[in-house]
């Protein structure tokens, strides 16, 4: 199975000059936009922040911080407004791996083409 990586721009929705662009792995098992906690200070002050407990694929529990609102623009798709999840991460070879989850993909009408290993525009949003 191939990996789909896309360029994403994330900004504090109330301070659009505070944010970053990064490459992120498309992960349909993740729900949110996931970033390393080490990048959180680049976004300035958030209106809302809350701690959440998360269960990993190995069934261990970790704490994360959900912050927002943020403006998220997946390259080639319309920008959306949502929240971002910050996690403590260990960089691999000096690089962090951000994730784009299914909620973000659905909101910006991105469909995953598993054969072509790319994102496509969905014809319509799913109301179900």
Say how many domains are in the chain: 1
In a domain, 85, yes or no: yes
Looking at the chain, which runs of residues are DSSP E strands? 5-12, 15-26, 33-36, 48-55, 61-74, 80-87, 98-100, 110-113, 118-121
pLDDT of residue 124: 86
45 and 71 in contact (C-beta within 8 Å)? no
Please give the structure tokens belonging to residue 30: 């993740």
In a domain, 126, yes or no: no
Q: Is the pTM of this model over 0.75?
A: yes
Tokens 């949502």 -> residue: 82
pLDDT in tens, 15-33: 999 999 999 999 999 999 9
Please give the Cα distance from 30 to 115 (Å, whole number). 20
pLDDT in tens, 76-100: 999 999 999 999 999 988 899 999 9
Q: What CATH number should be reported for the domain holding residue 95?
A: 2.40.70.10
Range(s) of the domain holding residue 29 = 5-121
In a domain, 127, yes or no: no
């Amino acid at each position: 199975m191939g990996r789909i990586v896309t360029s994403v721009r994330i900004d504090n929705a109330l301070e659009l000059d505070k944010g970053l662009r990064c490459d992120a792995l498309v992960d349909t098992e993740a729900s949110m936009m996931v970033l390393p906690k080490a990048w959180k200070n680049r976004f300035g002050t958030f209106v809302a922040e809350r701690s959440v407990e998360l269960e990993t694929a190995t069934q261990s529990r970790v704490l994360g911080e959900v912050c927002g609102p943020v403006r998220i623009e997946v390259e080639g798709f319309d920008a959306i407004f949502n929240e971002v999840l910050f996690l403590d991460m260990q960089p691999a070879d000096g690089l962090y791996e951000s994730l784009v989850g299914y909620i973000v993909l659905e909101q910006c009408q991105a469909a995953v083409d598993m054969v072509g290993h790319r994102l496509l525009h969905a014809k319509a949003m799913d109301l179900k």
